[in-house]
Amino acid sequence: MAKERRLFAAGWPAGFLSGALLAASLLFATHAVQATEAEDVEGAAETLPVVLVAPVRAGVDARPALVGAVVAKTASALGFQVAGRISERLVRRGERVESGAVLARLDDRDLRARLDSARSALAQAQAEATLADQELARIRDLSNRNVASRQQLDQAISRQRAAAAAMSNAEARLTEAKNALDYAELRAPFDGVLTGLLADVGDVVAAGQPMLQLAADAGRLVEVAVPERRMPTLSEGAMAELVGDGQTVAAKLDSVSGAADPASRTYAARYRLNGAAVEGQPWSLGQTAILRFAGGEPTLRVPVGAVFARDGQSRVFRVQDDAVQAVAVTVRSVAGDYAVIAGDLPVGALVVAAGVNRLHDGQRVRPRRAAELAGGAGEPRP
């Protein structure tokens, strides 16, 4: 008040002085509020997480080649149709044989004795049948002259029929004995190559017990193991390359196993080969073959670190307007540092490339590319 009195004494009006003081106070308060708001905005920007982003790139699902082995379309485990001791083996493993060739023999002494017994039994049955025919003829003549009774005629007819049946049975046993002797020789049912030896000379084998494995020359397949993830897009056609000499032929899907292997979780697929032969001979069994497939479908590529799983679904965080949005994708394959995906993402869209597990859908972020972070952009302010 003393100052006001001095100013008033100096000629300043008291009302004007009071208004000037009020305006100065308001101006100071306004500047203080603006400074506080600016500091709050700056602090909020500094608390947003900095994320490394990368663009979505175009790619192609190349359908990688599958490596397998050459197998026969038809392969059989051969065995004798009768029991006995193996006395002779006429082929070696890996040998090529023709249809009807003798592969092995059994000791046939017992079989020959059985054949002789069947022949004797047949001779006896034939003699009894002849005697029964003669007796029937005599009784029938006597019956016609009313010398023999009807009962005697019926008995003669029954004996003749029994003798005929016995002879038929003996003939069948003789045929069976002849076949058993023939079965003592194991013959190739088709042209092929011996791939396995399951019994050898001196072994006693049961009827039907496998002794040799024979793979037919007609038809060659390539068998490959297909991962579960690739089964829905498995191609019907491919080009098969024989590793040994580089020969390549067309192949077509023939069959797929009905269940996955419990250990490898893969399906066995067989591709049929067209004209798979080297110098007129079929491709050797067990050789390594590579199945190559035509170009695949257009896909997208993102860094491996961009993909995460949530609620059983693969996703990536797309960055738009400094905020992240979770987008569902399907992972086709992983190649090096990139994941091949399919999803509703345009080429060039920015996705979070690392640290996705620390973010949530809709969260605001400070996106930075790798080059910007390397140059110091986005570092916290001092």
Helices (H), 277-380: 370-374
Q: What Cα–Cα distance (Å) separates residue 329 from each residue in 64, 179, 305, 350?
A: 21, 68, 14, 15
Largest CA distance in the chain: 188
Structure confidence at residue 12 (pLDDT): 40
Q: Is a pLDDT exceeding 70 seen at residue 4? A: no
Helix (H) or strand (E) holding 76: strand 75-79
Q: Residue 173's closest CA among 119, 96, 134? A: 119
Place of tokens 């192609």: 60
Stretch 230-257: mean pLDDT, rounded?
Answer: 86
Buried b (16+ CB within 10 A) or exposed e, 107-127: ebebbeebbeebeebbeebee
Helices (H), the chain: 2-10, 14-47, 109-144, 150-182, 370-374
Name which residue leads in pLDDT, 4 or 360.
360
> Would the CA dihedral through 344, 349, 350, 354 be positive or negative?
positive
Mean pLDDT rounded to a whole number for the chain: 83
Which pLDDT tens digit goes with each residue over 256-301?
998 999 999 999 999 998 766 655 566 778 889 999 887 666 778 9
User: How many whole angstroms separate alpha carbon 52 and alpha carbon 352?
Assistant: 6
SS3 270: strand
pTM: 0.55
Which pLDDT tens digit goes with each residue over 321-336?
999 999 999 887 787 7
Q: What is the DSSP letter of 246?
A: -
Cβ atoms of 223 and 68 closer than 8 Å: yes
For the chain, give the number of residues. 382
SS3 125: helix
Which pLDDT tens digit goes with each residue over 175-231?
999 999 999 999 999 999 999 999 999 999 999 999 999 999 888 899 999 998 888
User: How many whole angstroms separate alpha carbon 214 and alpha carbon 29?
Assistant: 102
Cβ neighbours around 85 below 10 Å, total: 14
Structure confidence at residue 214 (pLDDT): 94
Structure confidence at residue 371 (pLDDT): 63
User: How many whole angstroms separate alpha carbon 107 and alpha carbon 203?
Assistant: 11
Question: What are the residues whose beta carbons fall under 8 Å from the beta carbon of 333, sequence distance 6 or more?
Answer: 61, 64, 229, 339, 340
Looking at residue 82, its amino acid is V
Buried b (16+ CB within 10 A) or exposed e, 245-254: eeeebebeee
Q: Is a pLDDT exceeding 90 seen at residue 59? A: no
User: How many whole angstroms separate alpha carbon 105 and alpha carbon 46?
Assistant: 91
Which pLDDT tens digit goes with each residue over 9-23?
444 444 433 444 344
